[in-house]
Amino acid sequence: MNIETTIMALLVLAAVVYLARRGASSIKSFRENTNCSDCGCTKSGKEEG
Amino acid sequence: MSTVTAVPPVAAKARSKPLLTALAGVPNAGKTTLFNALTGLNYKVANYPGVTVEKRVGTCHLAGFENIRLVDLPGAYSLFGGSPDEVLAADHLMGRLPKEDKPDVVICVVDACNIERNLFLASQIIDIGIPVVVALNMLDIAKTRGLSVRKELLAKNLGVAVVDISGRTKTNTDELLRAVAKAGSGEKRPGRYRWCSDKEFLDSAKSIGRLSRSDDTDDPDELIGIGIGLLSGSRQAESAKQRELLLAMRKQLVEQGVDAGAYETEERYSWVNSIASRSVVQVDGTRKDLTEKLDRVLTHPVWGLLIFLMIMGTMFQSIFTWASIPMDFIDSLFADVQVGLKSIIPPGQLQSLIADGIVVGVGSVLIFIPQIAVLYLFISVLEETGYLSRAAVLLDAFMRRVGLQGRSFIPLLSSFACAIPGIMATRSIPSFSDRMATILIAPLMSCSARLPVYTLLIAAFVPRRTVAGFLSLQGLVFLGLYLLGIVGALAIAYLLRKTVFRSSPSHFLMEMPPYRIPVAGQVLKTIWEKCAVFVKNAGTVILACSILLWFLASYPKTTDGSPSEAVRQSYAGQLGQAIEPIIEPLGYDWKLGVSIIASFAAREVFVSSVALVNNLEDVDEESDSLIDAIRNAKDPETGEHSYDLATALSLMVFFVFACQCMSTLAVCKRETGGWKWPIVMFVYMTALAYGAAFVTFRLSSSLLT
Ligand SMILES: Nc1nc2c(ncn2[C@@H]2O[C@H](COP(=O)(O)OP(=O)(O)O)[C@@H](O)[C@H]2O)c(=O)[nH]1
Ligand SMILES: [Mg+2]
């Protein structure tokens, strides 16, 4: 496998991991009855829209 | 049990533990503005009541007062009110919430222009027995109305510290915090029950209160409080003896010609009114009539409606006309970046990932920043001036006709930004069926995430033409989409009212906040924040989705065939073609199908996805701007344009009605306490979206050709 493919594969992997973790954390924050983490409206108790 | 218990001084306790300070007051008194000023946090402030429906906590960020922990409460007119947000505020103040401490100090925010109603609540809070500091707010407005406020007189009569502040300009916040720290040190407790001049009454209340065993207190003031609660009916008697005494006391009061149940409220009102009239006095000619004159026009059934439509029309027109120049600029910038990168990075997978995946995916969303900025410019100006409450009054009649009440207006209005705060704002609606009906239609309001989808499709497919001389067709279509969502919502509300939630809409009186000139800083801050969130989203979710989509649309690699054939055979292509039969009746090809699926991650991803997939298809062609790329997308077999106006209209209608937001469903589950209503919401919205898109496509393809 050449370097180019490796970088590409890593980036794709990072994207998948990021999306999965984000999904998991928004499910978690709903469980804990805090606010949503998706639309940025109430993110980390800082803003509301 | 007369053991000697050493009571630790409050000051010592305060040093080890933060000083818990609650911000209380009637709705729209400026609590959240003050909270933001003191904590450096940034919660939503708007010139209408009912914005804060949950309590929020933050630590004071001003030097020397880091020990003060602030709680912003929802507004309440009385501690014995009925709506869920009022109950929450009262419960917090009285320490009735499980696992939560009673506040050590209460800052009672008082709107100087509405002094009676504000002091009524303040005097109820003083009676709880927690140290109170009154923060006199809105003095700038009081001044323009020719009102003079006598702070010292107020402080003397209420028996608590009074500090004049402005949360808006952050004046005098230091003095306020010093007063809070002093009150929290327990040097001086406010005198309770000052409204009651009848010592005998207080004594009998105390002796009745003493018979309640459940509170286990010897504090005379607490006992009086219990007695008054019993008398006014907010508490139940605990023993036969107590009931007997209570009856005797009621009888005695009736003999004096006093209604026992209302005694407290009436006495309190007359006391508050006498203080109010002495401490806030009109010193020169009133400017109040200007507000009245404006209101008469703005809430007029004909003129008011006309003005409302004009304001809305201007807003949508401007989003297109003002934003088009910066938008074109950003668009061509990204096209240049794409070309530039292609000349730097050697051709191959990496080049394709960066230039065709990331730049196209992220760039196609970022070009909408100017539109977002213009939209929020209008929204924040309208919110701050106080116009929106007039619009609520104006629309109340319509909403009533479909069985919704004015209280639903603010949740629905918030839903134009995002359905989640909208659904949470329904907590200020006391009636269950009113609340449910509002929750179910809130996601039909076009939220800001739909904006890029609308603008992209309009920019690409609706001709830049003017109608009737000055109106841009694009702006009109845009306005139409928003109106379509509103009309759809009202129709659904009507249906719900006729079927599931049958009850007559409850009474509602919208309080009219005064007109205020918006502060440029506040408006710019809102715009800046909204744009920042948008950019952050583009840099995170949309970036990740673009990378993933690029991968799915580029693999498995086929060795032969044209680029478009390769995309067709990719994972994304296979997925798209699998669902093609379902979406074909709506006029969509498989690429749009894939993009609709992708948009479940975030609606804006739809735009990235359409741009990305079409870009991969014709990598050979010279790269135009992103919008042109979509407009010129061709069907590789027939060579005709893939998308026309009918497709675009059908897509836009689909996005108006479709429920594509996981967070909305999740918040609906949380607020309704089960999966039933979120499922209902998803099913009805999807069916509505499909049906409406189908009709739109059929109608417009036969009409437009
Ligand atoms: N003129 C003026 N307006 C203020 C002041 N404090 C707050 N406001 C405005 O009053 C409105 C209501 O404020 P908000 O903090 O949301 O009130 P809350 O409902 O008590 O939380 C907003 O439009 C604020 O910008 C002030 O000192 N002067
Ligand atoms: Mg508030």
Instruction: Please compute the mean of the pLDDT values over residues B102-125 and round it to a whole number.
Output: 91
Closest CA to B198 of B243, B141, B260: B260
Residues A11 and A18 sit within 8 Å (Cβ to Cβ): no
What's the start-to-end Cα distance of chain A, in Å?
47
At residue B481, the pLDDT reads 92
Task: State whether B40 and B170 are in the same domain.
Answer: yes
> Across the interface, do B663 and A42 touch by the CB < 8 Å criterion?
no
Q: How far is CA B653 from the centre of its chain?
A: 25
B353 lies in some domain: no
CATH number of the domain at B213, please. Answer: 1.10.287
Statement: residue B612 has pLDDT above 50: yes
Q: Is B28 in the pocket of ligand 1 (CB under 6 A)?
A: yes
CATH number of the domain at B165, please. Answer: 3.40.50.300
Residue B177: enclosing H or E segment and its boundaries? helix B173-184
- For B284, counting Cβ atoms within 10 Å of its Cβ (0-12 exposed, 13-18 middle, 19+ buried), the class is exposed
Within chain A, what is the greatest distance between any pair of CA atoms? 47
Closest CA to B421 of A1, A33, A32, A42: A42
Q: Which residues pair with B135 in a beta bridge?
A: B109, B163
Q: Comparing B469 with B609, which gets the higher pLDDT?
A: B609
Integer Cα distance of B566 and B557 in angstroms: 7
Which band of pLDDT confidence, cut at 50, 70 and 90, is reported for residue A39? very low
Instruction: Please compute the mean of the pLDDT values over residues B566-572 and round it to a whole number.
Output: 85
Cα atoms in the 13 Å half-sphere on the side-chain side of A47: 19
Distances in Å between the Cα of A4 and the Cα atoms of A11, B340, B349, B351 are 11, 19, 7, 9
The DSSP-derived string for chain A is: --HHHHHHHHHHHHHHHHHHHHHHHHHHHHHTT---SSSSSSGGGT---
Task: State whether B89 and B226 are in the same domain.
Answer: no
B38 lies in some domain: yes
Task: State whether B131 and B28 are in the same domain.
Answer: yes
Statement: residue B9 has pLDDT above 50: no
Strand B132-137 relative to strand B161-164, pairing: parallel
Q: Tell me, what DSSP letter sits at residue B348?
A: S
Task: State whether B31 and B160 are in the same domain.
Answer: yes
pLDDT digits (tens, 9 = 90+) for B380-408: 888 788 887 788 777 777 777 777 776 78
pTM: 0.67
Statement: residue B655 has pLDDT above 60: yes
Q: Which residues pair with B472 in a beta bridge?
A: B466
Instruction: Please compute the mean of the pLDDT values over residues B514-542 and round it to a whole number.
Output: 85
CA of B37 to the centre of ligand 2 (A): 13
Task: State whether B162 and B267 are in the same domain.
Answer: no
Q: Is B511 in the pocket of ligand 1 (CB under 6 A)?
A: no
Asked if omega into B556 is within 30° of 0 (cis), the reply is: yes
Integer Cα distance of B445 and B454 in angstroms: 13
Which band of pLDDT confidence, cut at 50, 70 and 90, is reported for residue A37? very low
Residue ranges of the alpha helices (H) in B634-675? 645-657, 662-672
Q: Is B290 on the interface with A (CB under 8 A)?
A: no
Mean per-residue pLDDT over chain B, rounded: 82
Q: Which of B547, B605, B661, B662 is the best residue to mutate to test the A interface, defined by the most A CB atoms within 10 Å of its own CB?
A: B547
What's the start-to-end Cα distance of chain B, in Å?
93
Chain A residues in contact with B601 (beta carbon < 8 A): 19
Instruction: Please compute the mean of the pLDDT values over residues B412-439 and round it to a whole number.
Output: 83
Task: State whether B114 and B176 are in the same domain.
Answer: yes
Task: State whether B19 and B101 are in the same domain.
Answer: yes
pLDDT digits (tens, 9 = 90+) for B189-211: 667 888 888 888 888 888 888 88
pLDDT digits (tens, 9 = 90+) for B504-520: 555 555 566 778 788 88
At residue B622, the pLDDT reads 55
Q: How many domains does chain B have?
A: 2
At B88, the amino acid letter reads L
Task: State whether B69 and B118 are in the same domain.
Answer: yes
Statement: residue B67 has pLDDT above 50: yes
Structure tokens at A36: 């949503």
What is the dihedral sign for C-alpha B107, B111, B112, B116? negative
* Among B146, B162, B185, residue at a domain's last position: B185
Segments forming the whole domain that contains residue B257: 199-282
> Across the interface, do A30 and B666 touch by the CB < 8 Å criterion?
yes
Statement: residue B561 has pLDDT above 90: no
At residue B285, the pLDDT reads 54
Q: Is B349 on the interface with A (CB under 8 A)?
A: yes
